[in-house]
């Protein structure tokens, strides 16, 4: 019987091991400077923060510790988004039954200090982000810990901060609405048969085909992200080869990271709900 | 900066991710009932026992806990041998500098209770073993916890038990002689360049070519094990294709597990000595 912490760590490992997972690092595709082994080391290092969440630590403190540990490898940002999605779910599981409602309760209970820790997490790793709206400029995450006074002054909680970004960030959207894609994807994972990493790859493709990946919007533009969504739908329907699509996205350096993050969250939920490995 | 426990867990994950690794499960080759994901779950579950070793627990108690945790997946025996090799090294690292001498000291300090725990570990997982010599029959590991009274009666320590098997078991041989292959392979890992999982695959092939794999002897026979060693040397020298060799061994279900275990141990030593990921 795995603990909640173990399920969270295993979810990160299973996520990166699903293949093919067009555009992202997986078991058979990697980039010269961002390799499979960096994700393994990221998952190993993240565990301590996940264990804090499972032990009842505030979501912000647990998250910043997880990111710090994740960053102890030379590949850079491996699982920042996945941890941002999984950490509140671990907090919810620690409190009792994991559900959209309990996850919502964790988000509602976040504090200004959680928001400050979220900014501090950017000290540990470089994350691709868009420029914020002008009014939010003092809260540009790229300021890292320097933004903490502005966070305190505005008295904004981590939940409120996420709500402000929900229209342009897929992870923030999950935070704001009871993690709907994550829980739906978890049900889909549990409804499928076969190796878990194959199921994760299937669900990844489904998600890629159904929702524009906001990381691709940030990394490239909305047009590219919409093209990827449409192409993923064609691939999912069997009208284009998934391996060729995977090669193409890697060549174009199109990395639908938000979609992968949702699958990581879904794997955690499914493991907590008894999915066997 | 990773902790000793984190390095031990990462070593298990890096080991299974090296590819091609002829005959064993790796990132691209698996068996229907023993898959890559089982090794991920095994590494996640083993961590608690490895942490006990790093915190100064007796090697037997740490090992049995690691095996129990490793077994919490449906693939069966994933990392029993690797844990048997890595656990005393973690104990040695916990005491100070990790070296053949400090590892030897851990082995010399083992007790009858460590031997009892070793037998108890077989309660958690099915491990392929040969029949013991007639005089050792009461100490057949397949008896599991039932053998504990015989262990106590004979007053045999875990170090002594390993010495008794050193001539027919590659892991026991490491225990008995200051882990010579493990430390030499660690130096080789550190001397190579490139992705760590590629280096692990290179060292695996070197080891497979240089020393008969005792797990293959147990699983098949000495003739098969010797043939595999010779073929590995041909492959290493570039006179046969490694991918074809890997396919063939998987097809024949020839699994040089002891060689993989030595690489796992070597990865741990190299990580402790500062090898970057």
Question: What's the pLDDT band for A89 if we cut at 50, 70, 90?
Answer: very high
pLDDT value at position B86? 98
Q: Tell me the pLDDT band of A205, cut-offs 50, 70 and 90.
A: very high
Could you tell me which residues of chain A have a Cβ less than 8 Å from any Cβ in chain B? 1-2, 6, 9-10, 13-14, 17, 27-28, 35-38, 40-41, 43-45, 47, 72-74, 195-197, 276-277
Global confidence as pTM: 0.97
Report chain A's mean pLDDT, rounded to a whole number: 95
Find tokens 């941890």 and name the residue: A83
Q: What chain B residue is nearest to A27 in terms of C-alpha separation? A: B27
Average pLDDT over residues A144-157: 94
pLDDT tier for residue A135 given thresholds of 50, 70 and 90: confident
Q: What pLDDT was estimated at residue A1?
A: 84
Q: Which residues contact A267 (CB under 8 A, 6 or more apart)?
A: A10, A11, A14, A15, A186, A189, A196, A200, A275
pLDDT digits (tens, 9 = 90+) for B127-159: 888 888 888 888 888 899 999 999 999 999 999
Q: What is the mean pLDDT of residues A7-21?
A: 97
Give the mutation candidate from A41, A69, A124 for the B interface (greatest B CB count, under 10 A).
Answer: A41
B45 contacts on A by Cβ (under 8 Å): 2, 6
The share of chain A scoring above pLDDT 70, in percent, equals 100
Q: What is the C-alpha separation between B233 and B183, in angstroms, rounded?
A: 21
Q: What is the DSSP letter of A133?
A: P
pLDDT band for A170, please (50, 70, 90 cuts).
Answer: very high
What is residue B107's predicted lDDT score, i.e. its pLDDT?
Answer: 98
ipTM of the complex: 0.96
Q: pLDDT over 90 for what percent of chain A?
A: 91
Give A37's pLDDT tier (boundaries 50, 70, 90): very high
C-alpha to C-alpha distance for A41 and A69, rounded to whole angstroms: 9
Q: What is the largest CA-CA distance in chain A?
A: 53
Residue A130's pLDDT is: 80
Rounded to the nearest angstrom, the minimum Cα separation between A197 and chain B is 7
Distance of alpha carbon A16 from alpha carbon A40, whole angstroms: 8
Q: Which residues in chain A are contacts of B44 at CB distance < 8 A?
A: 2, 6, 9-10, 13
Provide the residue-wise pLDDT of chain B in tens; the chain has 277 residues. 899 999 999 999 999 999 999 999 999 899 999 999 999 999 999 999 999 999 999 999 999 999 999 999 999 999 999 999 999 999 999 988 999 999 999 999 999 999 999 999 999 998 888 888 888 888 888 899 999 999 999 999 999 999 999 999 999 999 998 999 999 999 999 999 999 999 999 999 999 999 999 999 999 999 999 999 999 999 999 999 999 999 999 999 999 999 999 999 999 999 999 999 9
> Do the beta carbons of residue B111 and residue B133 sit within 8 Å?
no
Nearest to A103 by CA among A181, A7, A199, A2: A181
Quote the minimal CA–CA distance from B271 to chain A in Å: 11
Could you tell me if A18 and A200 are in contact, meaning their C-beta atoms sit under 8 angstroms apart?
Answer: yes
pLDDT of amino acid B147: 92
Inter-chain touch B37–A195, beta carbons under 8 Å = yes
pLDDT at A166: 95
- Taking only the tens place, the pLDDT of each residue in B164-195 is 999 999 999 999 989 999 999 999 999 999 99
Of A36, A47, A196, the CB nearest to B37: A196
Q: Tell me the CB-side half-sphere exposure of residue B155, using CA atoms within 13 A.
A: 0
Average pLDDT over residues A7-27: 96
pLDDT of residue A131: 83
Specify whether the CB–CB gap between B171 and B128 falls below 8 A: no
């Amino acid at each position: 019987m795995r603990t909640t912490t173990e399920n969270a760590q295993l979810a990160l490992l299973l996520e990166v091991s699903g293949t093919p997972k067009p555009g992202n690092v997986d078991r058979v595709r990697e980039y010269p400077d961002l390799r499979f082994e960096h994700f393994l080391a990221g998952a190993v290092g993240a565990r301590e923060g996940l264990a804090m969440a499972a032990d009842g630590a505030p979501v912000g403190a647990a998250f910043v510790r997880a990111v710090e540990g994740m960053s102890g490898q030379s590949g850079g940002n491996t699982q920042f988004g996945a941890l941002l999605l999984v950490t509140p779910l671990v907090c919810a599981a620690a409190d009792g039954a994991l559900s959209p409602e309990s996850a919502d309760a964790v988000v509602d209970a976040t504090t200004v200090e959680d928001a400050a820790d979220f900014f501090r997490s950017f000290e540990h790793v470089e994350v691709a982000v868009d420029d914020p709206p002008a009014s939010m400029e003092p809260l540009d995450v790229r300021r890292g810990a320097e933004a903490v006074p502005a966070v305190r002054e505005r008295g904004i909680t981590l939940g409120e901060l996420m709500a402000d970004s929900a229209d342009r960030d897929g992870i923030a959207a999950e935070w704001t609405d009871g993690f709907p894609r994550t829980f739906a994807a978890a049900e889909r994972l549990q409804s499928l048969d076969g190796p878990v990493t194959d199921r994760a790859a299937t669900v990844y493709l489904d998600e890629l085909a159904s929702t524009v990946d906001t990381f691709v919007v940030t990394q490239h533009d909305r047009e590219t992200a919409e093209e990827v969504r449409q192409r993923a739908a064609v691939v999912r329907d069997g009208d284009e080869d998934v391996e060729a699509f995977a090669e193409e996205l890697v060549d174009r350096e199109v990395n639908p990271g938000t979609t992968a993050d949702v699958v990581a969250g879904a794997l955690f939920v499914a493991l907590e709900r008894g999915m066997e490995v």
